[in-house]
Structure 1
Amino acid sequence: MQIEKINNITSEKFKKAVELGDRNSATLGFLPYQAFEKYASDNQLIGIFEEESDDLMGYLLFRISFNRVTIVHCCINEVHRKKNIALKLIDYLKNNTKQFEGIKLSCRNDYGIDKVWESFNFVPVKEKKGRSKLGLPLTVWWFPHYQNNLLSQISDFEISNKIVAVIDMNVFLDIKDKREDESLALNSDWLLSEAILFVTREINVEINRSKTQKQKESSRQLLAHYNELPFRDEVEYKNIIADLKLVFPLKSQNDKSDLNHIAYSIVGGAHFFITRDQEILSKGDYFKIKYDLNIYRPSDFITHLDENIQVTKYQPQRLVGTNINSKSVNASNISHFTNVFLKPTEKKHQFDKIIRNSLSLPNDFELITISKDDLLLAFIIFDRTSSSELKIPVFRFLKNELKITLSKHLLFKSILTSTKEDRISIEITEQCLDDDIIDVIREARFVNVGNSWRKINLKGIIEEKNILTEISKKNDISFNTKDTLNEILKETDCNIDDDQFLINYNIERHLSPIKIKELEIPTYIVAIQPQWAEQLFDDKSDEKLALFEPEYELLLNRENVYYRSAFPKILKSPARILWYISENKATRGKGRINASSYIDEIFIDEPKKLYKQFKQLGIYEWKHISETAKNNNEVMAFVFSDTEMFKNSISLSKIKTLIKKLENKNFMALSPVEIKTETYLALYKLGMELK
């Protein structure tokens, strides 16, 4: 068989083409004889003939307008059908019209030959009303030619200089129907400034399979907002498809579309293919090794991108003074953490979804794992989607000797984090809490409201009457302040027999780190040597302790114990204290106040008894307590908690000046010094840099 242009309107070949067209006018549509003459004269009529008999096997008639080729007729002789005649005519047209933008055609939907045009690598781009009496709908099909023009050069530049990612149909529908958070996160402004999201031509085919016209229209409306990855080389595309079919057998139309998406992505130069299809994801290594195409879930892609932007965020951080590390979850280890921290009664896909949705919004979520010597201990997630609230959707700890200590530390850290970020509340929404962790949460003064645990945290010095106003001023609608306050009041009322001082004290502790101005509570300045400050709470002291390595990771404790001489017996509990770090002669460090805590309980007893009682809390070894007691039969131990490090160390000279002004006495820090509430608040205000 041979293909040739039919441009002689007096020839027998032209006559055969007209006769074949008239014979099939019911499906092709009637075309006047004069129109056939015009197309033939313009070299726009192509025929394919048997070489020996010169029998016309089929013809293709087209026109050219606006730099596009439009197929008017593609007609195959009845006796020569199913011989790939149409494919040969279409290929001839493709090869001889590459100077144009592309080729389009319109075909009635009721003919049911969509698969034919798909097999020719045409894609359906829109629908329109037909010209028949019934107005039956037509689908417009399109095949592009790659054009080296300004637009394609801009596109090529972007592909060469930006991260190029292709989304598949499911992710596209996630975004359209707003049904999966991890896919919706692909619309984040920060991400779109770093990467370009493309679709491939195949998405048109999948949209065309939609069940209703409404679904097609809504999908095409969204499609208009995406760039289509350039289709540069049909031969390379066909070769890749042939290779992929050998490795991945096709079982359905969806399987075929999946391979088409991937092949188009490879030919178009994409770096990433984004999908939630587990079958494709499981073969990610194959595509990476053979075609250098990374197959990622939306959450994995976002995390990968964020890792490259914020490298230090994903590096392990050593918790001060311990061999315990915190590390951010990234795209490579999600499945591992899901398996390790999954609860026996929990559905894996639900837990996995929480993690992936969180990873999809790295600016709003922080995912941290805690480990010791490569052994996983804990996994927590901070959710910052609310401007006034810190949520904790995951708060999980594996069974080990540090479980309770670590959970207390992380709860205290969450309070400090929330306060530092000027958030007014914390809500733990984790639904699989262990009973011992619930006890820790209660102890940290969270209250149970509905299905979550909540804590209000205010900062600064506030008059009692202004507390509700201050909360309301910063709160948003996501947090029910009234219910939380009611639960706080219930807990304080039922535990303290209506003692007004204790009610106010407990409210302050529940709303910590707030300081209630009217609360008249015993307050002290307590001196501490630099080396003990270093071990108990201060990561910035001038002297590093090298005398011993603590047996337990005690720096993680929310509460701690401090030993001192039992005399003078000036300290009371509960109380507020300011820590005065004494002068360090070795480094010429001057004395200063660096932190504030609460004294929870005070114990005076024989040194050995107290050492045994508080060994799990204190950093002291027996020899240190023995030195503190000297020759006395008793020693004092006080348990302190909720330590706040000051933003601004208060120098000895400032301390002396302020105490002299407010109390008209000299400051000597040899033993605990009781000060007025007014003095404490003034020093606290100075240390926390409050206005």
Structure 2
Amino acid sequence: MVLASDDVAVESAVSDDAETIELLIELGNGSRKTLGLLPKAAYYEAATEGRILTARVDGRIVGYVLFRLPRNEVVLTHLCVEQGHRRAGIAQSLVNEVSRRYPMRLGVRAKCRDDYADIKRVWRGLGFAQLGRTRGRGEDNAAMTVWWRDHGHPNLFTTADEPTVLTVAIDTNILMDLHTRKAAPQAERSQVLLAPDVADRIEKVVPHGLERDIERHPVQLQERLLEATKHYRRPHGSPAKAEQLFDALRESYRSKFPDRTPSPQDVGDLLQLAETAAAGVKVLLTWDERLRTDVAPVLLEMSHPELSTLRVIDPDHLVIHLDELAHAAAYRPQVLSGSRFSTELANSASESVLLTFLDRAGGEAKNELKARLHTLAQLPRSHSIIRDIGGDPVGCYASLVDGQVVRAPLLRVANHPDADTIARYLLWTLRLTARQHGASVVHIDDPYLSRLAVRAAEHEYYQRVNDAWFSWVIDKAASGRELSAAVTTARDKVGLGPAALLSPSLSPDVAAQYERTWWPAKIADSALPHFAIAIKPRWSAELFGEPPTLTPRSTTLALGREHIYYRSGHPSCLKAPGRILWYLTKDHTTGPGRFIGTSLLDAIDVGTPEELYASLAHYGVFTLRDVREAAGDLGQVQALRLSYTEMFRRPVPWADYLKLSASAAGPRKIQAPVSMPRAAFDAVYIRGNS
């Protein structure tokens, strides 16, 4: 049976239509062996956000597609068609409607196991091409294929896997659900963590504080649980830091519950929270309602950033907020703060330290790394070691400037709580080095990049070609055609073919993607909107380091991968994505007003201070009290997600701006956010970088 498209009605499901949502849940559960378990709340959340489409034939639901919208693509979570209506064009109608509704996104991604019957024919029939091969993160580590349906935009951005993987700690009850009582009815609640769409986006770990909680159980069960922990990575944190955090938690617990004597379970829970936070893990999964409702709210109010950014949630809510949590946890601004990390140049005497980064798991021989280090030691000031506050080596990298190319034959990160942030810091440093030396290419040719470093490179918009990674550093503002030519010239220097030719008036989404990939390029003829925002010296100093402060600020903030800036929830002209010019307001201690830099505006979130702080506290700087102050009497705030912040080489004073913008019709006053004509933006940008 093949139905004409006119016979299939595809429409959005709405969250207040409980009857329809329950039918979709029943349909999805009927295919759970292939689709995996999805909690009911995830269906309702998707309907609320317009991320689930239904297919009806003669008024009856026969299929649905539920999808996510990470970055600039569409990712299919469930594509489900009732058994009796398969091969009738239902799936085709659903996928076509997804593409029709999101034409400006780069394409549609799906990941599927290879052992399903005739699966390649199915995906190719729906208009997908094979993008890459991977392995699932489920228990059987199944072979999978990543499928891609392209929307026809110039495209450098699709990779074989999603770059952001969220590390989550699991508690004893979830460990039991997954290992020691899998057949028990209550264990089904945790099976959502094994669903393909979830398992592939998380890494489950077991903090060392779990042993204290395990001790409450009978000896035989203790042995089985300890054996189960061997299936998971055990992230290490500083014992002294864990003890410090435990003491702080215990004091807060006593203040909140002065009449309650902590039970052994309470002590075990607090210890697990402390160990989780000390290890740099940002999410603890538990079904313990008391822990989630009594203790978790206290964390938000605590002064320790490791605790205030820790989220304690159940697996169902993890699924609902996974993209948001993963995105936020990928940028931990506080972890490189102050003097916690230092950088030193390496030399021939550093070999013993550098050998600790030997990639045994990847098959690297010790003599192979020694030969690489020997070559680097003969080149002065070529490679560096990063150490934490205790002096332990946590990362190393090399950068060799060869004309227009910065080569990185060494880039390693140790197993450390801050490994993700360190990897991204190193990758960003290489791009800064290229710009500083007038180079247009970063070429990472370390053959033993760890999976973590690869994930960071994908997140930083590096492009993989065979076994090497490249970043194109195009330091100019020009038309898309001119920038394409510049990238083609850069690619030619490393023996690669021409770049995609960008057309005029690129959509804001696509233009923003290219500006991230070719940073610091600015596409002058795109549809990306421009705005100016006034910022007070206090917040500018914290976020951007301008004006300079006497006390150390976060290194990651200074090198600026992503920030959050809160403002009142009153409506404004701002649209995302867009470009922002930052105007530092006049102050008697910091001098006259001036333009100091620019950022990409990636997204705008609106909500209550408590809601937004709970999900965005990972980004640091603002406390809950600060966010409430920004909300004022309105009780609502806007959280501006910012990335690729670039401070001007020299600020542009207001008086100079008035002269520059005289012929560009730029705004004459900047208090609330204002639209900025492209010509005025270009004039300020060029002056600030001259």
Give the TM-score category using the shorter length: 0.3 to 0.5
Q: Which has the higher contact order (CA 8 A, sep 6+)?
A: 2
Structure whose CA Rg is larger: 1
Please give the TM-score of this superposition, normalised by the length of structure 1.
0.48
